[in-house]
Amino acid sequence: MACQRTKNLHSLVFAFFLAVSPLSVADLKSDQARLEAIQLLSEKDNQAALKQLKEFYSELPPNSEYQLRLDVLRELSAAYFDAGDIAESDKINLEILNLARARQDKETVAVMQIDDAFKLRDAGKYEPAIAKLNEVAASLKGSTRADNLLRLESAYAMIYRAFSKFEQALSHQLEALRLTDQLTQRKTLAKIRRLDALASLYLLMQNPEQTLLVANEALVLASQVDSPKIIAGLRMNQAMALCDLKRYPECLVAYERSLNAAQEANLPKLEALILSNIADLHLRTLSFTRAEMVARQALKKAELIQDLPSIYNAKANVGFALGGQGKIAQAMEFLNPVLDRARDLGDKADLEAVVGEIGRMYEHAKMYKEALQYTREQQKIANELFRADRSKTVAALQEQFDADQRKKQIELLARENQIKDADIKNSRLQQIITLLGAVLTIMGGIFIYMLYRKVKQTNERLEEVNQQLEYHSVRDPLTGLHNRRSFLDLMKVRSENVEHDRREDDGESPDCLMIMDIDHFKHINDSWGHSAGDAVLVEVAKRLRSAVRDSDMTLRWGGEEFLIYAPKTKPEMLMPLVDRVMKSIGSTPVIVGNNAIPVTISAGYISLPFSGVPEEACNWEKAMQLADMALYMGKVNGRNRAYGLLRLLAPYEQALPELERDFSDAIRQGLVEVAIIQGPATSQ
């Protein structure tokens, strides 16, 4: 983007060149008009603009105006970047920095250091990147250059966004949008670009509805300018939002419009990205042949500009498209280089995602040995990521929890206000009763009776509302089962009474925790629709209630996960309970309309206290974690089965850490006795 000049700088530059330069005022105006024409061209055809910029810069005399040379270099850097030539763009940026230092232009030097912050971001160094931006902000303190301040705010937003600090990113993005009103040139284009960035941020924040609103607002503004480059970016954000909303036909239309605009603007890097996104859309909709065709187009385009991230992204899409067609060997020819690159870069998040997809590809092809191999590798990588990101994840969850709590507090306050309003109405009714009784005893008595009935009905309604509120606060709205909150409250009470209960039963009747997950639930949603998925959840809940004792607690843990808490369950009754639950779910299919949907579950179960281990060493939360690991073992070993931890075969000081570190290995070492209960055979 070209740098805007202030009036004072404009006057100083003119005075200087009128005194010492052979250039005339007419020459300067002609050069500025030429640059503005190229800027407009860059919005329509980047390659043509790049060619003209290179010619323009080569024709600039050594004594050309500093600001003009600076503006030409900035436009040249942006054009190289849009063309996918990052190395040449970086080279031009270095030339800008050296030019600004030679002219002692401290503000431009500060702005160019924003590139250093982006390099720190790309290296995963969040705090140093923000510290670098803070240095730039200190250098720009008191600046009146709206364009430079806008660059700084946009950089803050991009770096906070890269590290999932969405609240801060949104604040800086909105400030950048506000600064566009202070620009003196190309104000509308700048505003559209900020709206485009804001739409992209909302998309990352998993708010596709807001993304569409902002993108549509920007598209209305874009009708005022002739910029296929802008249209391409806006249509791509629009398409990704529609894809998240599963409006796939509209999404494909938006992607095609974005691709047409990128081709019109001659932006090969953006073309490769859009083609990869279209291929991914076809993969989502299981159109593997189309996905392969489009992914190969993306690969060809990416190889043409030698953009490595785009090349490997396209190779991954080609591989998964081939895998979807059952061409596993050909698929791995494309996927193995992707795996090698992710390992070389140390990008465990991408590696975990690709390995997981390959595992699912092998599973879909019924090559279970290879699927298990990749699933185990994915689990290993996921465990490493979990340990590395544990503190960050906990902080994010705490922040989300606090936000949820604030929302609940607001809702409770609103309900309290409703109750207070009702109390005020009751008070007024009682005053009316007293007044009427004093005026006419007989008539007052009649009115008092009538009003008393009304007050009673109001109080009964209030009592009913309060009971409903209490019910819904501890129940899942879909299944009617207890929810996670009610279980956490119960565990809190249990923890307070654990010493008393231990002395009372002496461990002869421990509690039982059984966590379950519906097998292939995503397949149910994809094949029969989300309404059928909801019907399956309701029926599973009904069968679980019928399979357990009245004293047992059955709850929906979240999504397709359920939990049974069976207090005071004798050891000899534990495995029959689990077997009864497995059969109640899997013995008969769930009937939804005219469809018979086979449903099975995988489960993990454990006693509490576990194997005589003090609850200070293995409390309910750790027991849940072990049961969840057992559930995962059921998943990776074929589903439709329950893994149970019966007892430790080694001192708990030795066995528990091994179980937490590598569950499968602890079983192989004989540190724990495990029981496996197979579910009923189904046609699935």
One of 65, 153, 271, 560 is an active-site residue; which one? 560
Contact (Cβ atoms closer than 8 angstroms) between residue 382 and residue 393? no
10 within 8 A of 192, measured Cβ to Cβ: no
Query: What is the length of the chain?
Result: 684
Return phi, psi of residue 32, to 5°. Answer: -65, -40
Instruction: Give the DSSP H or E segment for 659.
Output: helix 652-661
Q: What are phi and psi of 506, to 5 degrees?
A: 55, 30
Establish whether 658 is a catalytic residue.
Answer: no
176-190 burial string, b = 16+ CB within 10 Å, else e?
Answer: bbebbeebeebeebb
Q: How far is 55 from 347, CA to CA, in rounded Å?
A: 41
> Of 70, 82, 83, 86, nearest to 35 (Cα)?
70
Closest listed residue to residue 89, CA positions, set 79, 100, 103: 79
Residue 587 makes CB contacts below 8 A (sequence gap 6+) with 680
Closest-CA residue to 107 (of 158, 41, 151): 151
**Dihedral class, residue 207 (left if φ above 0, else alpha if ψ from -120 to 50, else beta):** beta
Distance, CA of 439 to CA of 501 (rounded, Å): 64
Interatomic CA distance for residues 475 and 485, integer angstroms: 9
- The burial of 228, by beta-carbon neighbours within 10 Å (0-12 exposed, 13-18 middle, 19 or more buried), is given as buried
CB 3 within 8 A of CB 147: yes
Helix, strand or coil, per DSSP, at residue 563:
strand
Asked whether 232 and 193 are in contact (CB, 8 A), the reply is no
Q: Residue 243's CB: how many other CB atoms inside 10 A?
A: 22
Single-letter code of the amino acid located at 442: I
What backbone torsions phi and psi does residue 265 show, to the nearest 5 degrees?
-85, 0
Distance between CA atoms of 362 and 371, rounded to whole angstroms? 5
Residue where the block lists tokens 């049961």: 627
Burial code (b: 16+ CB inside 10 Å, e: under 16) for 531-558 equals ebbebbbebbbebbbebbeeebbbbbbe
Residues assigned a catalytic role = 560
